[in-house]
Homo-oligomer: A and B are copies of this chain.
């Protein structure tokens, strides 16, 4: 693996999922000793931050963590700018220098949710890919979250259900959120044998790049019937970019709704707004902690593969 920005960096998704399950049960192998993992955060992070640091340390790597806007400098993203305003360092200089100090870089950025074109150009993570000169691992970007998706696939696989029905459902949230987790999950889950249905209120369409060929329903109740997994997430509209049109029915996942499923497992990437996205009861009997735990082993497997590639080179 040369980098890990999206599912396209993976040769064989099924093999990678199996690798994670194998890493999870194996003793840690310190193949990262003598290597430095840089972890750059443009935005807050809890699970991703801790699980990637744990994974890197499990492999024997040294880690350097930087909250880039607080610890370092304000970053300019646009090329050719006269930098006489607030931004103190251009992303291409920061990326190139940080690449000199680290063997592998993890980068966490976030959508602005102002313009689809800007967010989907993935300026931040792409600048690191272009200028850092070392492998870049996405710790969630503006439009994708591949480490989360890999952990999700591992979690699903561990239930050993043949051709599971996976329902991806929108749920309410008081803030405007990006489409990254859902986009990414769809990229990954379609590479498995799962039957996938997406359900969301009218107006919450996702980018067709991710949904093409996938069944979309606007009736949540109907979508949930016989689901093996209920992957729940809030997102803002893609077509009316970053908007959150009002929704009449209550899309929160409740125990009653879960009764329509085939003993369906509730999934969410966390953090979760309790009693907004889903009730306490649903969350407390869910598999969200299995997903969270699999974040370590997914990160560790991705880092291991990148290190092996580095050592081959």
Contact = CB atoms under 8 A, between A and B. Distances in A.
A18 interface: no
Given A34-B28, A89-B46, A276 B100 contact: no
Contacts of A44: 70-73
A152 to B, nearest CB: 15
A276 B41 contact: no
Contact of A275 (B51, B81, B96, B292): B81
A46 to B, nearest CB: 4
Interface stretch (A59-67, A120-128, A139-147, A208-216): A59-67
A102 B70 CA distance: 24
B51 A101 contact: yes
A95 to B, nearest CB: 11
Contacts of A64: 50, 53-54, 57
Contacts of A36: 54, 57
Interface in A55-100: 57, 62, 64, 66-68, 70-73, 76, 79-85, 88-90, 93-94, 96-98, 100
Oligomeric state, in copies: 3
Contacts of A271: 73, 88-89, 93-94
Given A46-B73, A71-B49, A289 B100 contact: yes
Contact of A270 (B41, B45, B93, B293): B93
A31 interface: no
Contact of A97 (B79, B84, B174, B292): B292
A274 interface: yes
A67 B67 CA distance: 11
Interface in A268-313: 270-276, 280, 283, 288-289, 292-293, 296
